[in-house]
Structure formats: C-alpha cells, structure tokens
Structure 1
Amino acid sequence: MILRAIHLENFGLYAGRQTLDLVPRGRSVVLVGGRNGAGKTTLLEAVRLALYGRRALGYRVAQSEYELYLRRRIHVGGDEPCTEASVGLEFDYAEGHERNRYVVTRRWTAKANQVAEVLHLEKDGAPVTSVPREEWHSFLHELIPPGVSQLFFFDGEKIAEIAHDGPDEGLGEAVRGLLGIELVDRLQTDLGLYLARHAKGADRAAAERYEQCVRELVACDEDCQRLSDDVDELRSVHAGHERRVQNVRQRFVSEGGDAAGQRISLEATRAEVRGQIGRRETELKELAGGLLPFAMAPRLVKRFADALHEAGDPGAEVALAVLRQRMLEWKATAEPTREAAWKKAHWDDLDRFLNTEGASKVGAELSWLEPGERRSLMARLEEVRGKTSERARLLASDLSAMTNRLRDLEAELQRASGQGTDSVLEELNEAQIQLSAAEAQLKARQEDLRHAEYRRSTLQREKRKLEEAQVEARDAAGRVSLAQRVGSVLQRYEEQLLDLKLAQLKAAFVERFNHLVRKDNFVADVRIDRATFDTVLIDADGRELHKSSLSAGEKQVYATAMLWALAHTSGRELPMIIDTPLARLDSEHRTALVERYFPAASHQVIVLSTDTEVDSELLDRLMPNVSHSYHLDYDHDRRATSVRPGYFGDTDGSHDALQQA
C-alpha cells in the first residue's frame, strides 16, 4: 500500500483546501514538521477518519457523539463561519498481482442541529460498484482493518502504552489479530455451533449452554472493545492534560521565581507521599484479603488454637476420667488425710468444674484432621497472632503519619500559592484539577475493562471446556463426526501456528531491538508467554531482563522494536505514520531511531515531528533518507495552519506537488 495524498478542507486547524503529496520519491521518509498545536496529530486523525468514519473514535461510539465530533472538527478560525468540511485519502493498494488506486472522501455539512455526512469511494477513477454503497464502510474496514492500522498509524502515546512497566495489555490481541490466528478461533466457534445444533438427547443441555456462552462471549467482546477504545481515548485526554500542566508549570517556574520553585518541590514531595500511601493501602488490602480478618478476633483464634492443640492430644479425656475416679475414691476413703473441713458444697463445686472441663474439649471435634494439617493450621494461627497483627499495626501507623504529612504538604502548597504569578497559578490549578479528573475517569474505566476482560476470560474457558467435551464425544456419525475431528485438528493447528508465529515474532524483535539499542547482543532471546503474552528479555548469559529493569530510553526502544517486529511478522505491506516519536527519548536513542528505524521501518514512512525532536543535527542524519518534507505553519491571527514546503522554512523547491486553495 502507498499513501499518495491527504486532502483537507476546513478540517480542524486547516482552513480552505490543502493537499499533501506523500508519494516517496526514491527515498522512504516523508518528513512533516510542526510545533506543538500546529496540527500534526490532526493529519493522523484525518487518515483514520477518512478510512473508518465513526469507528475511528471507538468501537461503540453513538451516532450523536460522532456528529458532535464532526461539528467540532469544522474549521472556526475564519471571518465567516464554515458549515462544511471534508477529509480525503488517495492510496494505491495491491490485490493479488494487480495494483488499484483508491480515493476515499468523507464530507459533512452542519445545519441547525443536524450533521449530514457523505462517503465517496472511487477505484481507478470510477465509483466502486462491486460493493453496494451502504457496505463501503465495511469494505474499507476489511481492506485495512482498524486493529491492524493502529500498529502502522500510531503516535508517541502508543509507544508509551507498550513501554509501561505493567503487563503487555493489548499485545496478545495484536499478535492474534495481525498474525491471522483469530480466523482459527472463528472456525472453532462455527464448528462448536454446528455440533451444538446437531446434539441429541442428554447432550442438548450442554449444546444450549454452548450457544448461550457464544452469545455472551460476543457481547463481552463488544464490551471489552468498547471499553478498550474508551480507555485509549481517555489516555489521550489524560496525556493532553499532562502536557498542558507541564507547559503551564514551565511558565509558572519562569515567572514565579522562588515561590514557583518551592511549589514544584512541594508537589514532588506530595506525589512521593501519595505513592507511598497507595503502596501501603495496597499492602493493607492484600492483608485484608488474607489473614488480617482473623487478627480482628483474637479470642476466637485462641480458642481455635487451643482446640487444635487438644485435638493433637488424644489422652486428655482419659486423664480427665482417671482424675474424676481418683477424686471419688479420695472422697470415700479420706486417704490421704484432708486438713480442711470439706463440705458437700465444696465437692459439688469441684464436680461441676470437672464436668465443665470435660464439656469444653471442643478439640475432639477436630480430631479428624491429619497431624500435618493441624501443624499447618497452627502455623497460620501463629502468623495471625504474630506477624500479621504487627504488620497491620505498622501499616496503619504509617498510613496515619503519611496522611498527616500529606495534609501538611497541601497546606504548605496553599501558602506557596499566594506569592505572585496569580493568573498563571490559577491556570495551573485549573489544569491540575482537570488532570486529576481525567486520571480518576481513566482509572475507573480501566477497572471496568479489567472486570470485562475477566468475564471474557471466564467465558472463554467455559467455551473451551464445552468444545473439548464435544470433540471427545464419539457417538456421533457422518458429518458430526467429521466436524469433531476437524475441531480437534483446528485446535492443534492453532497451537502450532501460535508457536510458529511467536517464534518469528521473537526473532524479529531480538534483531530489531539490538539494532536500535546499539548494543550488540544486548538481548539474546525473548520469552513471550503464549497465554498472557507477557514478555521477558534474555541476555547473552541467559539471565532474565524484565522490562522494569530497562532505562527509560531502552523502554521506548523496546516498544518501537515490538511494533516494528509485529508489523514485519504480519506480512502486510502498509506504510508507517509516526506522530511525535522522539519526545520521550534522550539524544543517543533519538539518533538510533533516526538512523536505523525511520529509513527501514517500511517502504513509506511519514514522520510527524517538532523542531525539538528532529533538530538540525538529527535532520542532517535523516536527510539522506528523506524524499521530501513539509512545514505546518500556524498563524495565530488567522487561527489557521498552512502547509508549506520544506522542514521549518528549509524550502528546496522539490515540493511542486503541494497545492493550497
């Protein structure tokens, strides 16, 4: 696939009609430069919108939300308000041995409370007729699946998502989607449904449960996809608020002097204290889910321990009976001689005591426990009375102290806020409030996603068990028997295919990671769990290198190499669009990506960068691989961006394909 051009008309910051020619001219890289807020991400947004329409915003976005989005993306910077906008994409796509040229244009008009959208799709200069117009959306999705495009058209946030220290969420989905394994799952599901519909007698209940399980799984997949899209969108919003807070904070530092410096120091301390509080709360929750509840009932624990101890001494009851018999003999014979004057009330008290002691032997109820089990229970009870209680007290004390410390810091921050830079400080406070709200919303949606993924995992396990039960059944004949054998073969095929593809992915990743990190044999192998897709790097000496042990730059390189390896292993010939790829890297790793990744990532690589990412030094290194470049020039007075040839004013006269209306 080759992206030939992007057409924008009154879209976002772009006023009028503008076109970027993207056809590589002997070199693979097309460089687009623009400062923050000039419209680089808008270009990536336009590509996704042209191809996927409403699906570009998420899996389950309501039509009303989509129309509101389209209305807001109409340019508003001119003297006269615009009511119409469009995005278009022209590209070549090879099908079999034939290359076809497609032009997709998405135009919309806002009138009153309605937004009317029109999709136009051409193939080789004529409207597509082989597919009904109402199915053009689906045709584009099949041509370039949205899930695949996310790994070819991505921004720095995608790299950050893969580079984080937690599990590789989404890597499994990417592997199964990119490498075609989901097709095998679909075939197995279809076979399971076929077997379910042909089941008879006692198997009918299991068959009905299987069909219900499939329906629930489809609904759960939709929920997971929707929540995943929501999480991605909220991550983007959260990142935007983070950037705003950072920008305002920089202004505050430059304008506020010592007060601003003091505030930043206090904020750093507050963030550290909040992190400590979060870690101790997590540990306290883990204790609460374990032995801590027993520590809240020390008398009950003691009684249980005594009962266990007594259950381990089967001679206790015999000793008690002997004692009672000896007491009766002593009462009858007075031997040995009693010095005190024992009355009937004394003997009655002693008898009641022995009766009560005998009745309290609840340990007999636990005599069925094996000695090893009793020892294990005793050890856990000792842990409750010892370490667990003490640890809980320490955690509670730490939490109380840290909460007081946090309250003091908040007060100090409030006092530091009163020293100058009032307007900037007010803006900073507002940005931080918005950031906190976005963070809370993101965490809540991530929690919803985890619950949905757990539900999906549970349904998948149940579905697999039902499929295995169906495959193992041998009483069916004819086509049912054949379907069972095919299902068994498909299951083995999926396992072998996954092993093969993971082996290819690992080899591709190791090669690319070492190539980018500029350390020969820094990583000798990588282990990818075939169930969870968690990754562990292996060095030349066979030692494990967990992702969390890598430097910040190496984590970014890890994410870039993984995306590169996935794209390579997928076998799809798609161009790369990379938005702000170097923002989180140091100079050494930036140089590595410029020299080793951009020129080789794909046959066409469109890099959207600021002048601080690809600066003059890196530009000199990249230029031998640059076909041509553009500069996004934002005019504050017009509130509009114009596309000009050259990278930040370096016009070389080679951009004759640039058109501007």
Structure 2
Amino acid sequence: MILRTIEIENFGLYAGRQTLDLVPRRGTSRPTPVILFGGRNGAGKTTLLEAVRLALYGKLALGHRVGQAEYEEHLLARMHVGAGGHVAGSASVGMEFDYAEAGRIHRYRVIRRWTAKGKKAVETLILEKDGRPVDSVPREEWHHFLQELIPPGVSQLFFFDGEKIAEIARDDVDDGLADAVRGLLGIEMVGRLRTDLGLFMARRENKEGAAAASRLKTVIDELDHTDRMVADMQEVVAELTSRRMGQVRAAANLRQRFAAEGGDAASQRAKFEATRDEARHQLARRETELRELAGGLLPFAMAPKTVQRLTAALSRSAGTGAAEAAVLRERLLAWRGTGDPPRSAQWKEGHWRDLDAFLAAEGYAPSSGDEPLSDLGANERASLLHHLREVRETTVARSALIASEMDRLGGRLRDAEANLVRASGQGAALIGQEIGLADSQVSATEAELKAREEELKGLEFKRTTLRRERERLLKAQAEAQATQGRTALAGRIGQVLERYEERLLESKLATLQAEFVRRFNHLARKGGFVADARIDRNTFATTLIDQDGREIAKSALSAGEKQVYAIAMLWALAHTSGRALPMIIDTPLARLDSEHRRTFVERYLPEASHQVIVLSTDTEVDDPLLRRLRPAVSHTYRLDYDPERRATSAHRGYFGDEEAADAVHQN
C-alpha cells in the first residue's frame, strides 16, 4: 500500500482545502521512504493522523464504545473556527492510496464529509476504486469494506503516536494489542475457517451426532445474537456516557453562573454545602451504629427490670459462683498476706472481715435443682452474665450518646440547610433550582449507566462462555470419527486445521520472537542486551531473557529502554505480518533520550517501511538529527499556524529548510 495524498478541508486548524503529496521519491543511491512533517505544538500534526483514521473508519476511529451522539459532537467541535469566531458549516477528510489485490494495484479514494445541521453532523462517505464508485459491495456496506481492507486492529500498529508507544511500553498486559496481534499474524482467519467448517459439518451430521450438531448450531446462533447485543449495549453505554458528560458540564456551567450572580453568597453556599454534606455523612454513620445496636443488645436495655431478674437468676443457678467464690476467697487471703500486687488504699480489719464473710456465704449458698437455669454450663452462664453486664454498663450509655449526637447533627443539618436558603438569595434562587434539577438528572443518568454497564458485563461474560463452548464443540467434532463422504473429509480437515492453527501460532511466535530480539538489540544502546524472548501464546505478554538465561522484568528496564521495547515490538510485528503498509508516526521521540533518539532516527525510520510519514516538533527532529535523517528523506513539509487567520497551512520545507511552497495544493 502506498498512501498518495491526504485531503483536509475546514477540519481542525486547517482552513479551506489542502492536499498533501505523500508519494516517496526515488533516491539516487538509497531508498528515501521518509516524508517529514514539522510543526510546533498546536500546529495540527496530530490532526493529519486523525484525518487518516477518520477517513478509513469513521466513528470507529474514536473507539468501540463511542456513541453516535458523541461522535457527532466531536465532529462539530472539529469544524474549523476562523477569525471572528466564524464556524465552517461543513468539513471533510480524505485520502488516496494504491492497494495491491491479487497481484494488481488498484487506486482507492475515500472521502468523509460532514455537514452541520443544528446539533447534528450528517456524514457522507465517498469511496472510489480506479476512478469509479465501488459497486462490488452495497453502499451501506462500504464502512465494513474499508475495515476489511485495512482492519482497525492492524492499522493501530502502523498508524500510531507516542501514546501508543507508551501504552505498549507499560508493564501491564494490553488486551487490545493481543487481539490486534492475532489479526495481524493471520491466526484469527484460521479460527474463522474452523468455525465455518463446524457449521458445514453440523448441517451434514448423521443422527448419532445430531444432538451435538444441533447444540453447535445453537451456540453459534446464540453467539452471533450475543455479539449483536454486546455491540448494541456498547452503543447504549456510549450514548449514556456522552449524555452524562453533557449533563455534568451543564451542571458545572450552572454553578459558574450561580457563583457569578451570587457573589459572596455563592462562596458562603459552598461552605454551607460542605457543612450539610458532612452532617448528612455523619448522621448516616450514627444511624448505622444505632441499627447495629438495635440488632444486638439494645432491646434488652428497654427492659431493665427483666435484665436485673435474669442476672439474679443466673447468679442463683446451680454451681454458679460457688467454686469461683471459693477460689476468689483463697486468692484474697493470699493477697492479704503477701501484699502483692501492692495496695494503694488503707484497708482496715473490718473491711477484710466483711469481704471474707461475703465470699464465704456466697461459696456455701444453697442452690435448688429446680432453678430454670440450673442446666446451663459455666461458660454459657458466664457469657450471658457478660452480655447482661454489657447491657447495663455499655449499651445504654452508648445508645444515649448516639441519640444525643444525632440530635446535635440534626440541628447542624437544619442550620446548614437554612443557611443555604439564605445564601441563595433572590437572584440565584432559580439557578439553585436548576442546579438541583441538573444534579438529579446526572444522578438518574449515572444510575441508568451503571445498570447498563452491568448488563454489558453480563453479556460479555455470556459471550465468553459461548465462545468457550463453541471451541469445545468444534474440538470434539473435529476429533470425532467421521464415517462417510464429505463429512469424513470435513472432520479430517477440522483436525488438520486445529493442528495447523497450533503450528501456525508457534511458527509466527518463533519468528516474532527472533525479529523482536534482533530489532531490540539493533535499537538499544547496549548491544546484545537481550539474548532471547518468550511471548505468551494467549496474552502475547513478552518476557525478555539475558545472556545468562535469566528473565528481565519489563519493570526493570529504564524509561528509554521501555520505549525501545515498544518500538521494536511494533517493528517486529509489522515485519512478521508480511503486510506492506505505510507507517505514520506522530511525535515518537518525546520520551527518548538523546542517544536513543539518534539510534531511532538512523536505524528505525529509514528501515521501518517503504513509506514512513513522521510528524515531529522542532525539538524532536532538530538540526543535528535532521542531518542524520536527511539521506532517507524524500521531501518535507512545515505546518505553520497563523494566529490572525486562526488557521494552519502546509508549506514545503522543514524548519529553516525552505522548499518551493507552490507544490502544496490549496484552495
């Protein structure tokens, strides 16, 4: 694939229509695949990458969970705003590229145009092949055709920015990258073929396997239905997320208006709101404590006489206190004799005699076997007496304290609410009501969003379960002994495909591992730092191995080495896939140190692909790096922002390196 032109009209910072030539020119002695764009921050470099993604994928360029309303809101915000605040009524992005199919090169042209109609943006898609509209597929299927031509998961590994590099460089596993890698290496296609073969066998299964075949067909149908439900629910979640964001912004704007109209009262209101919220929080905590008491010992505190009688009955029950009193009496006499531990009070002889008489009487107090609690064990009696003592000594006091605290907090809450009414003032009263309504709308939307997110999780879990069951049924079906004709052949093909998928994955991973190690060492300043790599077949998480066979944790790499890791992985994936796609790289050097920047410019950019479009600031590819990159550069552009026109124009030439400006087509 060769990306020939990018067309932008009234999109972002670009006013009017501008067409940029991107075809690499042939060098005299070596390939010159690099087209270098220079622009300072805010000049519109990232807009070019966004234009390519939007032209190919439309709404999907913003992510799978972006709803139509949010997509249209984004497009309306991207229409060019010129001098005097004039907003363009329409905008478009497009591209022209050559793409090889069955050994023949075809020229495609795709344009997406959006026209503002109130708060909506109406999209028009133009798709031409060799100068004529694509008629081999229906117009409503053009979106899917473009996605199949260059799958989104594949494009993110060829059209990327510094954020994508940072994402791959992170220590955690990137599930999106794993899906993209499977598609990039061609492994998903084998899985689809196995599924189609399973359906073929299900239609021709004999009676003995009819149940399994019927179940397989049911699972596949349910999976298709669940996929659609997941997609629909993702749309609903995206719409609700967009609606909630809009409501939150509206509530924030109302608060700003309230502050502007209320003056000092608005400041006081913020303080009173904080007091009110804190009082509500504290009241909720006290209510929770009171509920816990009510579910425990508090009801006993409502009947103190009953508690007293129960305590006396437990004390009189058989065996209660006799042995304990005797032991206590002995210990008391020993303590009187030794004085250890020391006593602080002055005990007189009469005190000792009274205490000794009490313990002696307690130890020999007669008990009746007819006592209702006489069958209780010592531990049970002790536990009951402990709880009853807790009722008398703790529960009553604690509940009274909580009730008093709740009265105090209630008064504080009422005062805060009264202050809020006074602070609102006459002029801000209506806005205060609007804020309340806006907050209630946000709460309602958040509740609905949470419910839909839970539904989405349930659907995704169901889809995962169905996929596993489909895989199990396919495997069982492929392993079953086919008995006749095409069914027997299909069974053998299924087994072959399963083995082929395993071996293909092993082969691709082995190639990817070798390519990654070679390119990592090619880019890293430490030659031979990595001797080998292991890539997990399920998550595609990569483990580095040093010269001594020890694992190198990604977290142990320096920040620059993590960037080199990500770039090497992208490079190895592109090479292993065998896809001849151009590279578009937006501000890739921001996180690299000077030595890694030189290596990146000298060793990666000239070799990354047959066409490498680099979007850089003047501090990334500076004069020294430009001299190193110059032999691989086909031509350059400079993006200049004019603050008076509030518009960016593209001119030939890099910073301080002017070329003929008339080569850039502008209307």
C-alpha distance in 1, partners of 2:169/2:474?
A: 36
C-alpha distance in 1, partners of 2:455/2:138?
A: 38
Give the alignment partner of residue 54 of structure 1, picking from 59, 62, 65: 59
* 1:125 positional shift: 3.1
Question: Would you say 1:33 and 2:44 are equivalent positions?
Answer: no
Q: How does 1:476-625 map to 2 (within 5 A)?
A: 477-625=484-632
Question: Would you say 1:465 and 2:476 are equivalent positions?
Answer: no
Preserved contact between residue 76 and residue 82 of structure 1 (Cα < 8 Å): yes
C-alpha distance in 2, partners of 1:344/1:57?
A: 85
Gap change, CA 1:217 and 1:517, over 3 Å in 2: farther
Preserved contact between residue 38 and residue 641 of structure 1 (Cα < 8 Å): yes
Q: 1:19 maps to what in 2? A: 19
Aligned residues: 470
RMSD: 3.9
Question: Would you say 1:105 and 2:127 are equivalent positions?
Answer: no
- The amino acid that maps onto 1:29 is V
C-alpha distance in 2, partners of 1:133/1:447?
A: 35
Q: 2:6 maps to what in 1? A: 6
Q: 1:86 maps to what in 2? A: 92
- The amino acid that maps onto 1:567 is A
Gap change, CA 1:569 and 1:74, over 3 Å in 2: same
* 1:17 positional shift: 1.2
* 1:15 positional shift: 0.5
* 1:152 positional shift: 0.6
* 1:202 positional shift: 7.3
* Secondary structure of 1:503's aligned partner: helix
Which is worse superposed, 122-131 or 509-518?
122-131
* 1:589 positional shift: 1.1
- The amino acid that maps onto 1:153 is F
Preserved contact between residue 509 and residue 562 of structure 1 (Cα < 8 Å): yes
Preserved contact between residue 580 and residue 609 of structure 1 (Cα < 8 Å): yes
Fraction of identical pairs, as percent: 65
Q: How does 1:345-364 map to 2 (within 5 A)?
A: none
- The amino acid that maps onto 1:599 is P
Give the alignment partner of residue 174 of structure 1, picking from 155, 160, 180: 180
Tell me the TM-score normalised to structure 1 length.
0.64
Q: 1:75 maps to what in 2? A: 80
* 1:563 positional shift: 0.6
Question: Would you say 1:474 and 2:460 are equivalent positions?
Answer: no
Question: Would you say 1:147 and 2:171 are equivalent positions?
Answer: no
* 1:520 positional shift: 2.1
Gap change, CA 1:345 and 1:480, over 3 Å in 2: farther
C-alpha distance in 2, partners of 1:157/1:220?
A: 32
Deviations 1:632-656 (A, max 9, x none): 1112232211112222242033x65
- The amino acid that maps onto 2:12 is G
C-alpha distance in 2, partners of 1:135/1:353?
A: 82
C-alpha distance in 2, partners of 1:17/1:153?
A: 23
Preserved contact between residue 637 and residue 652 of structure 2 (Cα < 8 Å): yes
- The amino acid that maps onto 1:3 is L
Gap change, CA 1:455 and 1:171, over 3 Å in 2: farther
Preserved contact between residue 30 and residue 626 of structure 1 (Cα < 8 Å): yes
- The amino acid that maps onto 1:504 is T
Deviations 1:221-272 (A, max 9, x none): 67888999999xx9xxxxxxxxxxxxxxxxxxxxxxxxxxxxxxxxxxxxxx
* Secondary structure of 2:663's aligned partner: coil
Preserved contact between residue 115 and residue 121 of structure 2 (Cα < 8 Å): yes
* Secondary structure of 1:121's aligned partner: strand
Which is worse superposed, 451-460 or 561-570?
451-460
Q: 1:157 maps to what in 2? A: 163
* 1:71 positional shift: 2.3
* 1:133 positional shift: 3.4
C-alpha distance in 1, partners of 2:479/2:575?
A: 38
Based on CA coordinates, which of the two structures has the bigger radius of gyration?
A: 2
* Secondary structure of 1:148's aligned partner: helix
* 1:553 positional shift: 0.6
Give the alignment partner of residue 647 of structure 1, picking from 632, 644, 654: 654
Preserved contact between residue 652 and residue 663 of structure 2 (Cα < 8 Å): no
Gap change, CA 1:658 and 1:228, over 3 Å in 2: farther
C-alpha distance in 2, partners of 1:4/1:628?
A: 13
C-alpha distance in 2, partners of 1:451/1:513?
A: 41
Gap change, CA 1:202 and 1:126, over 3 Å in 2: closer
Preserved contact between residue 60 and residue 226 of structure 1 (Cα < 8 Å): no
Give the alignment partner of residue 187 of structure 1, picking from 180, 193, 199: 193
* Secondary structure of 1:47's aligned partner: helix
Question: Would you say 1:637 and 2:644 are equivalent positions?
Answer: yes
C-alpha distance in 1, partners of 2:534/2:453?
A: 27
Tell me the TM-score normalised to structure 2 length.
0.63
C-alpha distance in 2, partners of 1:481/1:202?
A: 14
- The amino acid that maps onto 1:141 is Q
C-alpha distance in 2, partners of 1:219/1:538?
A: 44
* 1:214 positional shift: 2.9
Deviations 1:573-593 (A, max 9, x none): 110000111111111111111
Deviations 1:449-470 (A, max 9, x none): 9987766554433222222332
C-alpha distance in 2, partners of 1:111/1:473?
A: 60
Preserved contact between residue 52 and residue 137 of structure 1 (Cα < 8 Å): yes
* Secondary structure of 1:37's aligned partner: coil
Q: 1:42 maps to what in 2? A: 47
Gap change, CA 1:586 and 1:221, over 3 Å in 2: farther
* 1:523 positional shift: 1.0
C-alpha distance in 1, partners of 2:479/2:21?
A: 59
* Secondary structure of 2:588's aligned partner: coil
* Secondary structure of 1:531's aligned partner: coil
Gap change, CA 1:461 and 1:121, over 3 Å in 2: closer
C-alpha distance in 2, partners of 1:7/1:181?
A: 34
* 1:42 positional shift: 0.5
* Secondary structure of 2:658's aligned partner: coil
- The amino acid that maps onto 2:154 is V
* 1:204 positional shift: 4.9
C-alpha distance in 2, partners of 1:353/1:533?
A: 65
- The amino acid that maps onto 2:8 is L
User: Gaps (5+ residues) in structure 1?
Assistant: 235-342, 347-351, 357-439
Q: 1:291 maps to what in 2? A: none
C-alpha distance in 2, partners of 1:353/1:138?
A: 79
- The amino acid that maps onto 2:88 is C
Gap change, CA 1:226 and 1:552, over 3 Å in 2: farther
C-alpha distance in 1, partners of 2:469/2:64?
A: 25
C-alpha distance in 1, partners of 2:234/2:577?
A: 22
User: Gaps (5+ residues) in structure 2?
Assistant: 242-365, 370-374, 380-445
Deviations 1:82-123 (A, max 9, x none): 212111211122223322222222222223354333222233
Give the alignment partner of residue 634 of structure 2, picking from 620, 627, 637: 627
* 1:503 positional shift: 0.8
Preserved contact between residue 645 and residue 658 of structure 1 (Cα < 8 Å): yes
